[in-house]
């Protein structure tokens, strides 16, 4: 089972790249972030005619998440629990039957949190606290669980080319990184780091200042696995080549191979 996450940075602008990558990779389940589309305007028909099942939780102009899959999910839930007044579309999860196994896959787009010292950073930390509580609940169900997406957190100095450039950014604050570690301490496994400790392992390169050709990247797209999912882990790929395509997203797909 191939499970992938990709911040597409506008599904309409990247539709050709998305379709090309799906044809090339053939994953079983894909979580997309920053679709920047309401549900009704998501390019569902182009995907469905290629055999993809589509579930969205969209928002006009920004945010928005989606799950694409070869098989229809058994159950779908939208919105991260814990704050019914929160109207930002940042979370969707579904249960899939893959062979004789059921797997829960959640796709998230965690708040950026910038600028520091504003309600945006407080919202980020509050959102992460809600995510921790939700993950604790899901872990108690003992179903293979994949919690993936754009976390907007740089976990360690090894996950950024130039740490000094990020010391005043919400993605690299001690509070953000501590909240990420609390998720791991629940018993979740960071799939990328479980598979490799290679240096310069990045998933995002900014559009500015020649970040891509200079390999001035960061790792903020993460796939966290419950113990029941971690024992199935066979490998992880970061599809860097997609960043060099025409009209690319500033993120690239992270693909995790889970096998019984």
Q: Is 241 annotated as a binding residue?
A: no
Closest C-alpha among 184, 187, 191, 180 to residue 232: 191
The two tokens of residue 156 are 């360690």
Which of 96, 134, 150, 180 is the catalytic position? 150
Q: Is 221 annotated as a binding residue?
A: no
Q: Is 134 annotated as a binding residue?
A: no
Q: Is 126 annotated as a binding residue?
A: no
Check if 134 is active-site: no
Q: Is 216 annotated as a binding residue?
A: no
Check if 150 is active-site: yes
Which of 109, 151, 180, 202 is the catalytic position? 109
Check if 185 is active-site: no
Find all residues with CB under 8 Å of 46, minimum gap 6, and list them: 15, 19
Q: Is 7 annotated as a binding residue?
A: yes
Q: Give the annotated binding-site residues.
A: 7, 34, 150, 152, 250-251
Residues annotated as catalytic are 109, 150, 251
Q: Give the annotated binding-site residues for Mg(2+).
A: 7, 34, 150, 152, 250-251
């Amino acid at each position: 089972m191939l499970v992938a996450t990709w911040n597409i940075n506008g599904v309409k602008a990247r539709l050709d790249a998305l379709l090309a990558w799906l044809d090339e990779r053939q994953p079983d389940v894909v979580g997309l972030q920053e679709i920047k589309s309401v549900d009704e305007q998501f390019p569902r028909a182009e995907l469905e005619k290629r055999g993809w099942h589509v579930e969205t939780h969209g928002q006009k102009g920004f945010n928005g998440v989606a799950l694409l899959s070869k098989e229809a999910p058994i159950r779908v839930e939208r919105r991260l629990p814990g704050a019914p007044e929160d109207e930002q579309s940042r979370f969707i999860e579904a249960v899939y039957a893959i062979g004789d196994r059921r797997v829960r896959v959640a796709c998230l787009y965690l708040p950026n949190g910038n600028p520091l010292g504003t309600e945006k950073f407080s919202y980020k930390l509050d959102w992460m606290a809600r995510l921790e509580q939700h993950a604790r609940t899901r872990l108690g169900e003992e179903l293979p669980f994949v919690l993936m997406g754009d976390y907007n957190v740089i976990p360690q100095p090894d996950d950024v080319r130039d740490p000094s450039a990020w010391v005043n950014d919400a993605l690299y604050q001690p509070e953000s990184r501590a909240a990420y570690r609390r998720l791991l301490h629940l018993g979740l496994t960071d799939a990328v780091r479980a598979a490799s400790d290679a240096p310069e392992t990045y998933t995002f390169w900014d559009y500015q200042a020649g970040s891509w050709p200079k390999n001035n990247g960061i790792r903020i797209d993460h796939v966290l696995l419950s113990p029941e999912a971690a024992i199935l882990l066979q490998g992880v790929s970061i599809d860097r080549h997609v960043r060099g395509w025409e009209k690319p997203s500033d993120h690239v797909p992270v693909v995790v191979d889970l096998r019984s």
